[in-house]
Structure 1
Amino acid sequence: MLPRADGRETVEHPLLRAWVGSGELPDLGQLEGRRQCMQVRDGIARPAFRAQTPALLADGLHYEERIATCGVLATREQGVHDVFNALVWLRHPELKWALNARQVAGIAEVGPRERTRGQYALTHFDEAGAIVWLADDALVPIWDAHDWSALFVRERSAWGRSIAVSVFGHALVEHVWDGHRMPVAKCLVVRVPSVELAARVGPAAIVIRWREAEAHVAAQIRSGRLLADPQELRPLPLAGIPGWHDPHAPDAFVRDAPCFRPLRAGRRYPAPCSDLID
């Protein structure tokens, strides 16, 4: 078991409850065991979790190329970051494979020492990304304006009903594990029917996994339609979601907390994805 940075044994944050439950992180052997079980259960391959040793790295392959060609994920055994990355592979394999395919294509295009705009977008989403499932278009303009009071205070009842989130980025989860309680996700926004959302949303407006919908998103990532540029990603201060933080004065909190930043002059966001989910 890997210890928490703050030494506490219980997990109180909703994001950590969604990802690690009891607060104990699995070791490499446990991760590999879970991988084999989950592949049998859902029929989706995940790369084998192998200790990142000099012998493993001696193949000379790039990290992403090793996943694509050998089906092996180099994993640092005592690295919390790598454990959360493995957990994301277990829960969201279609999305992870789509990112990997695009990264490998980028390496073939510009080499391992350069990066395209698309590769930057892929990395941002991989490390700090989330999918926001949206069933109410009226929330888009207030989010795009960074009107955090409207999004999180006035529209508080919308969270878990017409808007919800699946946190995907393993570095973002690690950030909360290390004691930071005001993470900001970089989000893809996907329109979905309200009835479908209601069937999948859990506590704190979290959708653990939505396999069918994620498969559509993954296909669009593979094609390059999504994550072609980092500017596609909307920031979302997760502490504003009801149940993620418990401020005594919500209006003051979203006004004064540093994670709730104003809109930068000239910043524009793309329309939410509208044709991915039937």
Structure 2
Amino acid sequence: MRYVAPVRGTVDPQVFDRPPLVAWQDHARLLHGSDWPTIEALNALWPAGSPTCFVAQDLELLADGLHYEQRIAERGAIATREGNWHDLLNALIWLRHPALKQALNHRQMIEIARMGPKLRSRAQYAMTHFDEGGVIVLVRDAALMALWDEHDWHGLFWRHRDAWIDGSIQVELFGHALLEHALSPDKLLVGKAVVFQSTGTADIEQVSAYCAEQIAAGQLLHDPLELRPLPLSGIPGWHPANVDEAFHRTTICYQARRAGRHYPSAHAL
């Protein structure tokens, strides 16, 4: 069933006080209250000299016949529906992660040139899944990868609960559809993860920058099967019920690994 976001002004305020939306409190005035921000207000948040801007998606804009990605690549114009949660949250991701967004657009344009504007390749599906539901994960403890490989969710999220607090594993949410789903307090979030492993000093911001470089260079996201499911609602603080062990044994967002399903190794840094 297609997700329908709550009406603006009716969102439970608790969702803005926990991850992932708490990370966007610097844009609280765009998210709270009954009034939608204007396209002009969003554009005012770009740094000086930005090559992109938000433009209202209306019939006049769509009459140009361009693919969404073409409009970004050729005009720097990001079509944005006004009064729409999905597109507002997409705009926030653009503002925070422009290099990642530009990398995806670059790769999408390569695939559009190869496939045409109506067909989609496996790489385009992978990039779309990441754009909508993606998370970037930095893992420092190889033992956590073994648990993840086996979908040992109880082990990953309960027995090693401290790993999510002490930095042994870190997450940067990228997918704007995940942010939209987080508007509903009862929603169990599952991300599609690109995973990097390091024993060095790299932090999650550096890893995100490296991820953008690798996407742009065509080293990542060739197939949706590269992406690992990550039940974000199991991370401490992301769902109020996960303080109880029972959550990590019974919640429906913890799915068993499908027979024959294997994941690529984490990308080494």
TM over 0.5: yes
User: AA paired with 2:56?
Assistant: A
Select which of 254, 262, 275 maps to 2:248.
Answer: 254
Closer, same or farther in 2 for the Cα pair 1:129/1:74, shift >3 Å?
A: same
**Residue of structure 1 aligned with 2:43, choices 22, 32, 53:** 32
1:192 to 194, 198, 210: 198
Q: Does 1:173 align with 2:167?
A: no
Q: Distance between the aligned counterparts of 1:6 and 1:179, measured in 2?
A: 12
Percent of paired sites with the same residue: 48
CA offset digits 1:173-200 (Å, max 9, x no partner): 1011134431100000012346443xxx
Residue 14 of structure 1 aligns to a residue whose secondary structure is coil
Runs of 5+ unmatched residues, structure 1: 198-206
Unaligned runs of 5+ in 2: 1-5, 32-36
1-structure distance, mates of 2:55, 2:242: 46
Q: For residues 249 and 20 of structure 1, what CA distance do their matches in structure 2 show?
A: 24
Q: Cα deviations across residues 18-66 of structure 1 (Å, max 9, x unaligned)?
A: 124537424322211001xxx23xx7x3521111122212221100000
Q: In the alignment, what sits opposite 2:65?
A: 60
Matched, 1:8 2:2: no
Q: CA deviation at 1:244?
A: 1.1
User: What CA distance in whole angstroms lies between the structure 1 residues aligned with 2:39 and 2:25?
Assistant: 15
- The answer (yes or no) to whether the contact 2:134–2:192 under 8 Å persists in 1 is yes
| Secondary structure of the structure 1 residue equivalent to 2:170 | strand
User: 4+ runs of 1 displaced by more than 6 Å?
Assistant: none
2-structure distance, mates of 1:61, 1:178: 33
1:252 & 1:183 partners in 2: Cα distance?
17
Q: How does 1:132-171 map to 2 (within 5 A)?
A: 132-160=137-165, 161-171=167-177
For residues 191-215 of structure 1, what are the alpha-carbon distances to aligned partners after superposition, in whole Å with 9 as ceiling and x for unaligned? 2346443xxxxxxxxx6xx1x4323
1:82-124 C-alpha deviation (Å, 9 max, x unpaired): 0111110000011101101111111111111111100000000
Inter-partner Cα distance in structure 1 for 2:186 and 2:101? 25
Q: Deviations over 1:226-246 (max 9, x none)?
A: 101000101010111111123
Q: Which amino acid aligns with 1:164?
A: Q
Q: Is the Cα contact below 8 Å between 1:5 and 1:178 reproduced in 2?
A: no
Deviation at 1:13, TM superposition (A): 2.6
Q: 1:128 to 1:248 in 2, by over 3 A?
A: closer
TM-score, with structure 1 as normaliser = 0.86
